[in-house]
Chains A and B, each alone.
Chain A
Amino acid sequence: MSDALLTVARVSKSFAGTKVLQDVSLTIANGEFLTILGESGSGKTTLLRIIAGFERADNGTLTMNGNDIDRLPANRRNVNTVFQHYALFPHLTVFENIAYGLRAKKVPASEIKTRVESALAQMRMSEMAARRPAQLSGGQQQRIALARALVNRPALLLLDEPLSALDATLRVHMQGELKALQRETGITFVFVTHDQEEAITLSDRIAVLRNGHLEQIDTPRELYNRPRTAYVAAFIGKANLLPNGMAVRPENVQVVAPASVPVASGSQSWTGTVKRIVFAGASDLIEVDCSDGIILNARVPSGGSYPPTVQLLVASEHLIPLS
């Protein structure tokens, strides 16, 4: 296991009487791409801001490479942030924006020039050096914001929903770029988003926050195959939540004609009427109304036809126990 870069220990934070973070603990490993995933109000942005140094936790500690950093102001932490709306300085050129942190640390001018130019080249934006942020497109601004942060070679890079302002195609493209960038530089990325697909695509690990609590922190695959709570199961991918405290993924629900297939031991089975078939490209999602108010979704290859009444089968290894 790679060494721990940052340890968040039992951090809590309240704003005006409302508890935004409750007793959150997690460890960020050196060189990993960690995503903090949650809905709005989950506390994910607050946690990020505490790590950056813009807020101070009410309780708990932050330890980086063995040192306590909670008393350090933002400008003295070896942490840099890419802001949601980029926060590029409108009165400075692209070059000056990227150079800003280096100038603040009194890096010699010749070195600044080299580093900024290479950062621009890495982003393929060398011709934009003399432009102002207002003259750039959203995607370009985003890359400059990244360059501005990375040129300082921080130990930790924080990204606050940086792709949320981009349109869908650009978003997917930038996701790929970010992932490649992280692998290239080896810098630890902490990425905040509410988009679970984005989280699954990009992350080495995902920390799911809900109402200020850490629900689960695991690799995407583990979170998908072994969610620990109903919330995580439903948040990451689609899930059928069964009344017996179990969950099953729609693609693991087998749809057959009633009584046409023997039910293996340990499997669960339901019979119900087909309510809807939703076309989803490569697959169809079949909504089946079983008795007792249970509605189950099954994902099947698209194009099939189904009788009005069907039997649903789930093998025992596909049943996920939830706490």
Chain B
Amino acid sequence: MRPRVTWVHAHAALVFAFLYLPILVLIVYSFNGESVAGFPPHGWTLRWYNELFADDPLWSSVGNSLLVAAFAVALALLFGIPAALALDRADFPGKQVFRRLVLLPLILPGIITGLSLLTLFASAGAQLSLLTVAIGHGTALISVAVAEVSAGLQKFDRALEEASRDLGASEWYTFRRVTLPSLKLPIIAAALLIFTLSLDEIAVSFFLVGRENTLPLEIWSRLRRGITPEINAVSTLIFAFSVVTIVVWFKLRGSATDA
């Protein structure tokens, strides 16, 4: 009640500094005059941003990533929303196993998800491509959709559905006019989160990518070849994009107390 600055405040300040230090360095050095990251930074230039905008292969990988992300959102929602509903209201043998399986990719290292799908595709003789990447993302990120929609269903008052049925509506009608609208916010929040996670996804994509690269993999291959400050520029842009997205997501999902 009396705000006193204690070690808790100091600790928090240090942790925030730690979390944001690399990001700040990136932003500062994306404008760095020299092409090495020595301290202190020299000069100020937009050169790297200019090079970035002229970099066609990079932009085509951005396009690929956007495509894959859109597809991943569609897949994750298409199967994740029914999955959440099933867990909330259906009864079937193996339900607990199903729940664990669906949520497993959330915590499972991406390499396992990626490799397991790779072995499946290889056995089936399927060609690796953006489609296989999208399937990989979708599978991994269904868990996010299920988590968000399940949380929304928990808050949902079943009496509303009962009232709808009582008034004569069919199950489908009730779903469309009562259940789904109440899930609007969780679904949008999930979509946003899945989209962003898909754009950044690298571990699963690593094993499922074909000839066309996604943005993270494109950046990755360049990093293997050596550092260019252009990477700082694209990273800063990604950061800016992320900040905007998260502010929007936060507004949608309500305050931190709903988290």
Contacts and interface: CB of A to CB of B under 8 A. Distances in A.
A54 B2 CA distance: 11
Contacts of A73: 1-2
Nearest to A53: B1
6 contacts: A54-B1, A55-B1, A56-B1, A71-B2, A73-B1, A73-B2
Contacts of B1: 54-56, 73
Contacts of A55: 1
A1 to B, nearest CB: 34
A312 B248 CA distance: 69
A71 B2 CA distance: 9
Interface in B1-33: 1-2
Contacts of B2: 71, 73
Interface residues of A, number: 5
B4 to A, nearest CB: 10
A56 B3 CA distance: 13
B3 to A, nearest CB: 12
Interface string A27-71: 000000000000000000000000000111000000000000001
Nearest to B1: A56
A131 B1 CA distance: 34
Q: What are the 6 closest A-B residue pairs judged by CB atoms, nearest first?
A: A56-B1, A73-B1, A73-B2, A55-B1, A71-B2, A54-B1
Interface string B63-105: 0000000000000000000000000000000000000000000
A71 B4 CA distance: 13
A55 B2 CA distance: 10
A63 B2 CA distance: 19
B249 to A, nearest CB: 27
Contacts of A56: 1
A71 B1 CA distance: 10
A250 B243 CA distance: 68
Interface in A236-281: none
Contacts of A71: 2
A41 B2 CA distance: 26
B1 to A, nearest CB: 6
B74 to A, nearest CB: 43
Interface string B19-52: 0000000000000000000000000000000000
B90 to A, nearest CB: 30
A71 to B, nearest CB: 8
A73 B1 CA distance: 8
A232 B81 CA distance: 56
Nearest to A56: B1
A6 B1 CA distance: 22
A287 to B, nearest CB: 38
A73 B4 CA distance: 13
B2 to A, nearest CB: 8
B257 to A, nearest CB: 17
A54 B1 CA distance: 8
Nearest to A73: B1
Contacts of A54: 1
B255 to A, nearest CB: 15
A73 B3 CA distance: 12
B6 to A, nearest CB: 13
Nearest to A54: B1
A306 B1 CA distance: 63
A251 to B, nearest CB: 45
A234 B46 CA distance: 77
A305 B1 CA distance: 63
A48 to B, nearest CB: 16
A73 B2 CA distance: 9
